[in-house]
Amino acid sequence: MAAAASPSAAARVLLVDASPYIFRAYFALPASLVDREGRQANGVYGFGSFLLKLIADERPTHLGVAFDRSLTTSFRNEIYPDYKRQRELPPPALEAQLDDCRALAHALGAATFVDDRYEADDLIATLCARLPGERVVVVTSDKDLAQLVDERVGWLDHARGRRYGPRDVRERFGVEASRIPDLLGLAGDPVDNIPGVRGIGPGTALALLGHFASLEDLVARREEIARLGLRGGARIQRLIAEQGEVALLSKTLATVARDAPLTATLADLRLRPPRRAALDALCGRLGFEALHRRILERGSGGAA
């Protein structure tokens, strides 16, 4: 069996969920920001600027950036075809910039990750699992990754300047980070079109979870619900009896995978100096002279 990665006291590992920041950049910057061919490049420029600011603010020694490939090819779509079905596809002008966003992150010196069947959340969760001895900061504005937070893994919502540890997650969601999938299994998540149990909202879900060790435990012991003293207990018991399998499916959809096909080690995540040939070619094609200079000024990047 392979040895676990050895802890490195000097390592400061950031894992970035790219999509929220690409979308934010695209909608925040004017469409008039174009490349040399007149095509919109605002998403790429804004995303590159975000990465530079993140590096300057956090001074990571290791940086991984995870990207989403598609809204329709995740393994979750295989088990539940309606997963994220209500989401609109990215505007064509943004979709045309996604490959360049990944190329820019790579040229800047970061390690980049993308997969057809696994979402960026799953890639980040897998990387966290592959670095058991390291302290990691997950950078995202998406609540889906909050379930990873523990004494070793923190969450940074960089745009809002918020940092979350285990206590912060518990205060925000009402449960321990590891139980967020249980909560979403019951209450659902309309953002991702995860159904949950119809008729059970977050408040009822939290009340139920306070009496059971897990969602699986709740479903298995559903005959006890009416005796818990909860308001509408008999109705809630009936809903769980009728929709228990949907609740378990919803939990599966809401749970990040930790077994994506990645082989990256801590060494692979080290933030490198800018990859000069790739950077020169990309920024030259896009006409990003100012951003090019700023990236080169970063030098080797991260903390010494």
- 163 vs 138: CA distance, rounded Å: 10
pLDDT at residue 9, rounded to an integer? 52
Number of Cβ within 10 Å of residue 18's Cβ equals 25
* CA R_g for the chain: 21
Q: Residue 52: what are its φ and ψ, rounded to 5°?
A: -65, -40
Domain ranges of the chain: 13-173+265-295, 177-254
pTM of the model: 0.93
Q: Give domain 13-173+265-295's CATH architecture.
A: 3-Layer(aba) Sandwich (3.40)
* CB contact at 8 A, 231 and 89: no
Q: What is the pLDDT of residue 36?
A: 95
> If you search the block for the tokens 């069947």, which residue do you land on?
117
* Residue 226: per-residue pLDDT: 96
How far, in Å, CA of 144 to CA of 256, rounded? 8
SS (H, E, C) the chain: CCCCCCCCCCCCEEEEEHHHHHHHHHHHCCCCCECCCCCECHHHHHHHHHHHHHHHHHCCCEEEEECCCCCCCCHHHHHCCCCCCCCCCCCHHHHCCHHHHHHHHHHHCCEEECCCCCCHHHHHHHHHHHCCCCCEEEECCCHHHHHHCCCCEEEEEHHHCEEECHHHHHHHHCCCHHHHHHHHHHHCECCCCECCCCCCCHHHHHHHHCCCCCHHHHHHCHHHHHHCCCCCHHHHHHHHHHHHHHHHHHHHHHCCCCCCCCCCCCHHHECCCCCHHHHHHHHHHHCCHHHHHHHHHCCCCCCC
pLDDT of res. 302: 41
Longest CA–CA span in the chain (Å) reads 69
Can you give the pLDDT at residue 159?
87
CA nearest to 258, candidates 119, 77, 135, 150: 119
pLDDT 10s digit of each residue in the chain, 304 long?
333 334 455 679 999 999 999 999 999 999 999 999 999 999 999 999 999 999 999 999 999 999 999 878 899 999 999 999 988 889 999 999 999 999 999 999 999 999 999 999 999 999 999 999 899 999 999 999 999 999 999 999 998 999 999 999 999 999 999 999 999 999 999 999 999 999 999 999 999 999 999 999 999 999 999 999 999 999 999 999 999 999 999 999 999 999 999 999 999 999 999 999 999 999 999 999 999 999 998 764 443 3
Quickly count: other Cβ atoms within 10 Å of residue 2's Cβ: 5
For 201, how many CA atoms within 13 A lie in the half-sphere containing its CB? Answer: 2
Class of 177-254 in CATH: mainly alpha
- Quick check: 204 and 198 in contact, CB under 8 A? no
- Residue among 303, 280, 287, 244 at smallest CA distance from 107: 280
CB atoms within 10 A of CB 125: 26
